[in-house]
Amino acid sequence: MRRAKAQGSPRPNPPADIRPMGPDDYDGKAWVHYLSWQETYQGMLDAAYLEGRSLERCQEMARRWPERCLVAETEGQIVGFAAYGPCGDEDLPGCGEVFALYVLRAYQGRGIGRALMDACMKELGGVRAVALWVLSDNERAIRFYERCGFFADGARKTVRLGTEKEESRMRFDCMADR
């Protein structure tokens, strides 16, 4: 049976300040988005595709879609972000989705990713489930999501990220214990 809240105990002192992204955070969020892709997907995605992703494109995305985006700030620097909202998958009506969750490599392992996930889950409160999509060969991310209580639900899709890549859907059933 799936637990109705993210597994693990809360930390007494948050590893970072988690808050909604504001206009002053756009450039910091964009930098995390850009650098995290370079750090995370090297060797998983086509090198030419990664080289074609620009900081300017990430800045444009931050300004275009500021809603439902949380940032993690520590020591005056944005070091992570997460984006969430209603799930777009037709077979999961009434569910939420975590669209993105990234933490700079230098800040991973400090509980910041978990704090961002917990904040997304709180913001999505009241949904019956929360879904996310992850590259099927991104084992590190899959293990992280499993530690947060997500499980692979069998759904898969092909996306084009330079070359065709497979994504797997993971889900957290919020209402499992009710």
pLDDT tens across 126-161, in order? Answer: 999 999 999 999 999 999 999 999 999 999 999 999
Domains of the chain, residue spans:
17-173
Query: In a 10 Å sphere around its CB, with 0-12 CB exposed, 13-18 middle and 19+ buried, how is residue 1 labelled?
Result: exposed
Domain 17-173 architecture: 3-Layer(aba) Sandwich (3.40)
| 37-49: average pLDDT | 94
Q: Are strands 151-161 and 69-74 parallel, antiparallel or unpaired?
A: unpaired
Start-to-end Cα distance in the chain: 11
pLDDT (0 to 100) of residue 5: 41
pLDDT (0 to 100) of residue 15: 82
Q: What's the mean pLDDT when you consider all of the chain?
A: 91
pLDDT (0 to 100) of residue 4: 39
pLDDT (0 to 100) of residue 9: 46
Tallying the residues shown for the chain, one arrives at: 178
pLDDT tens across 69-127, in order? Answer: 999 999 999 999 999 999 999 999 999 999 999 999 999 999 999 999 999 999 999 99
Q: Compute the Cα dihedral for 170, 101, 23, 14 and give only its sign.
A: positive
The CA radius of gyration of the chain, in Å to the nearest whole number, is 16
Distance CA 36, CA 123 (A): 23
Q: What is the pTM of this model?
A: 0.89
Residue 123: strand, helix, or coil: helix
